[in-house]
Structure 1
């Protein structure tokens, strides 16, 4: 059987990767064939969410209590879409 490497696999559509990244954090990077990057994003999302939760005062909203995790979540969604878009465009013109 012929082995397929990363350059021969057809990339996922960027909008599908965006939707998956919004619903399941870190999985967008897995679809982009960078699972270690996805695990790193999820790890830092959890760590920063716990840190901001511990340091936030009792009168802070839920968004404020988990602001660090939400920030990394937003970065991971944008990162997954950006790299999916780059891979999609490269596949179109190669």
Structure 2
């Protein structure tokens, strides 16, 4: 059995692209769900915010979901990494 991917690499992938950290740890469906809702809520807040808002404010819904996905991917990767380390010893 192979050793799971390093949690810090998963963290970097999750920061770069929503859902990519989950794909890297073998949970592509969960990653796709996070990516979908990131886009969905980003578009939703863009459509219902006023044009004088900043980029961050206009896409706050998507950014919020993306921010939730980052620690989730890291936590899952860390758990798998630690459990694999215990099984080896």
| Class of the TM-score when normalised by the shorter of the 2 chains | over 0.9
Higher helix share: 2
Match of 2:10 among 17, 28, 35: 17
Is the CA contact 2:7–2:78 (under 8 Å) kept in the aligned structure 1? yes
Structure 1 consecutive aligned stretches of length 4 or more whose deviation exceeds 3 Å: none
Which string of whole-angstrom CA distances, capped at 9 and with x for unpartnered residues, describes residues 28-53 of structure 1?
A: 00111100000000000000001000
Aligned-pair RMSD on alpha carbons?
0.9
In 2, distance between residues paired with 1:56 and 1:15? 35
1:59-78 counterparts in 2 under 5 A? Answer: 59-78=52-71
TM (normalized to structure 1)?
0.87
1:25 to partner: Cα distance: 1.8
1:36 aligns with 2:55: no
TM (normalized to structure 2)?
0.92
Q: Which blocks of at least 5 consecutive residues in structure 1 are unaligned? A: 1-7
Q: Which blocks of at least 5 consecutive residues in structure 2 are unaligned? A: none
